Structure 1
Amino acid sequence: MLGTQEATLVGAREALAPRNQSYVGATSALTEVVAGTDAATGQPVLKATVSETMTIRIDGADQVSENQNAKRFLFSVSGDTVKLQSESDDSQAGQTLSATAAAATQVMATPADAVGPPADETGALTLGTDGFPTGEAPAEGVRTASYAASYINGLGTGSWAYNNTGVKWEYKYDCTNFVSKALYYGGGMKMRSGWYKRDDVWFKNPWWNSWPVKASYTWSAAENLRRHLAWNRPGYFITNVYNVRKGDILFFKYKGDSVYEHAAVVTANYSGRIHMAQHGGPAHTTLDDAIARNKRTSEPITSIVVIRPTGAR
């Protein structure tokens, strides 16, 4: 397993080192294990729910990052030698083995209306050449980006997200559904009814009224929620990492994508070190850790938008 993970682990370690961050501990536990044979190749395959805990030291203080994914391990056999050939997320196992398992890389839960890439990245965090956000710290005693400008309860949004990462998954890719719940239950943002594909609506249907759709696209898909918060509430774009606050919403774009395909909730900001809660990837982690984990993959994070929602009604 370590052999298949080596490049990613080393890459994340090297990326965090210049930021005075390091991994100081890690544990993994496999549960709900099912052994079988790959239908296509006949090779041994093992499916399991993998619970991982990483301890990250940030400026001398330890932060725990937790993750639970459904994994698929494929083995090759040569004589008496058995070798782990590959490790991947397993969405089928995620549906049958664990209600909280999910793919680490998020895509939209429902298709967004076809849109091209933004004309520019105005409104996104400034990323340095190392891929991490940069910004100028405010002068001592100066407060910026106050909550007073927002009608959404940012503290409530962030607290709900932090305390409810274990809430039941309702979609195969549940990131935006989780963020919407935090805005609704924690932040007090009101639902808006209408045609479910429109960007100006935002709602979740109750179970008894779930046909033909369970929720509006803006409730369940990252790009649609981003457009809703940006154009229909509207929200404030936070472009300085030091001004990000608890309850702000993070949107991620990956290499090769024309839209933002993952969302998370900010739970704290310690002098530019952003902590976040999410469905998909580690439930509690830091923005730096999320960027580092993706740097050596085929789809590194290329853009991050932070929106502070306004207009509760």
Structure 2
Amino acid sequence: MNSTAAGAWTTSATFTPSSVPGGSQQYIEAVRQYQQARNELAQGDSPTVDQALAGKTRATLIRASLHAEGADLIDLAAQSSQQGFNRTSVALTQDDVLVSFNAGTNQVTVHANVKETVRTTIEAGTANEETSDDSSVLARAFVFDAATGRTGLLRSQAAGADRPEGRAGEVNALPTGTSVPSLPGDAVPLPVDQNGYPVETAGARHSDTVAAAVNRPAIATWAVNNAHSEPYDFDNDCANFASKALYHGGGVKMAVPPGALGALTKRQDPRWWYQSWPRRYLSSYSWSAAHNFYLHFVKTRGRASWVSSWANVRVGDLLLIDWHGNNVFGHVSVVSKKSSKSWKGVYYAQHQPTYQWRSLVDGMTAGKKKYPKTKVYAIRVNW
């Protein structure tokens, strides 16, 4: 079994790699300098793209791409400053770097695991100021045009984004015959402004007592402890990771199909399960895909309730992300930490990419830049 499909291994035809025009090192350096320049703009350290590029030895390779993104990054820095939110990259490295060249397309691709430690501060300059660090890992591919006269970075994408989805596409498909429903009336997204910043008042502080059937703090503990070590079973692994946190950490019981081999043939049923037998990893769609996860826990089984305010989010709750405002959930994360000072201090752990304590403010503002219709809902699993 490979990461995207099950089946027998086969041997390809002989492949002779092409040498990278001008050598690989220039592209590796360009990727590092591109990320550094993006951070300088997003953090407000450089007010213009030209200043962010100053002194960068590979500026020619990244100039066009950075100018295309620059306005959004500069705007993000200005908005963050107004909101008392600071995001600072304190460490940035590239590991497991591989550079390849496709002579047919004249494109060079730098594959790398980008590891970054980010320090976020909420409500800066107030009595509620709080700072938190988080380390992330993201497999990325940086594609350059290497043709003479137009050399430069074309795009940066999650590794594998240009290949067929295979098994990941299978589990993220809605069950056969399922239409996308409207959400129930008590499904209210966590309120944010048009840029993704929290807008509600603090309200009443929540209680951290938990139901006897679910150990919610242990859900978060498992997610934090295993975010970087738990293997990805799917290319899109967010729901699988959240399900593991519920099961292994919180003690949430599986809902298994009846019959000795029922699990092998009823992957689209409304139950919630996984198994590693026989010989390969199998799971229900509700275990491994975000919208199906919602269908099981909220719509079909009623095992979870909605949380509609930032102040009442608890450690161990789940965050469901609707990227396009169409009531389809494309991502799920685990609330891993809650501030004792500020109601804005909600942090989450997840896979795809890997985080332990990412600020939800950071995630929402970045998400809104790419997907303006993004909404985030919180749910609490009760049994």
Question: TM-score scaled to structure 2, two decimals?
Answer: 0.68
Across the two proteins, how many residue pairs are aligned to each other?
294
- The structure in which a higher percent of residues are strand is 1
Who is 1:111 aligned against? 173
**What does the per-residue CA deviation read over 1:26-60, in whole Å, with 9 as the maximum and x for residues that have no partner?**
43212222222236521222222221222222234
Go from structure 1 to structure 2 and tell me whether the alpha carbon gap of 1:39 and 1:78 turns closer, same or farther (over 3 Å shift).
closer
Q: 2:283 aligns with which of 177, 201, 215?
A: 215
Distance 1:119 1:180, change over 3 A: closer
Match of 1:276 in 2: 348
The superposition leaves residues 237-287 of structure 1 with CA deviations (integer Å, 9 ceiling, x where unpaired) of: 110110000000110000264410100000122132101000013513011
What is the 5 A alignment of 1:92-241? Answer: 109-113=171-175, 114-119=178-183, 122-130=186-194, 131-139=196-204, 143-144=205-206, 146-149=208-211, 151-166=213-228, 167-194=230-257, 195-199=266-270, 201-208=271-278, 210=280, 214-231=282-299, 232-241=301-310
Q: Percent identity between the aligned chains?
A: 25
What are the Cα deviations for residues 140-193 of structure 1, in whole angstroms up to 9, with x where unaligned?
xxx535534562111111111111102111101100010001100110001111
Greater relative contact order, per chain length (Cα 8 Å cut-off, separation 6+): 1
Q: Give the 3 Å change call, closer, same or farther, for CA 144–79 of structure 1 in structure 2.
A: closer
Cα distance in 2 between the residues matched to 1:188 and 1:16 = 38
How far apart, in 2, do the equivalents of 1:83 and 1:129 lie? 36
Give the 3 Å change call, closer, same or farther, for CA 119–181 of structure 1 in structure 2.
Answer: closer
Deviation at 1:87?
1.8
Cα distance in 1 for partners of 2:81, 2:238 equals: 28
The answer to whether the 8 Å contact 2:107/2:147 transfers is no
Contact 1:291 1:300 in 2 (8 A): no
Equivalent of residue 287 in structure 1, options 349, 360, 363: 360
RMSD: 2.9
1:107–1:262 CA contact under 8 A, matched in 2: no
Seen in structure 2, the aligned counterparts of structure 1 residues 50 and 205 have a Cα distance that, compared at 3 Å, is same
Change (3 A) 1:40 1:264: farther
Quote how far apart the aligned CAs of 1:136 are: 3.4
Aligned to 1:67: 136
Q: Which runs of 5+ in 2 are unaligned?
A: 1-33, 38-62, 258-265
Give, in whole Å, the separation in 2 of the partners of 1:84 and 1:39.
16
Read off the aligned partner of 1:69 and give its amino acid letter: L
* CA distance in 1: counterparts of 2:327 and 2:148, whole angstroms: 47
**Matched-pair contact (CA < 8 Å) for 1:173–1:280:** yes
- How has the CA–CA distance of structure 1 residues 93 and 283 changed in structure 2, closer, same or farther, with 3 Å as cutoff? farther
Determine the structure 2 residue equivalent to 1:45: 109
Q: Which stretches in structure 1 are left out of the alignment for 5+ residues?
A: 95-105
One-letter code aligned to 1:162:
V
Q: Per-residue deviation at 1:65?
A: 2.8
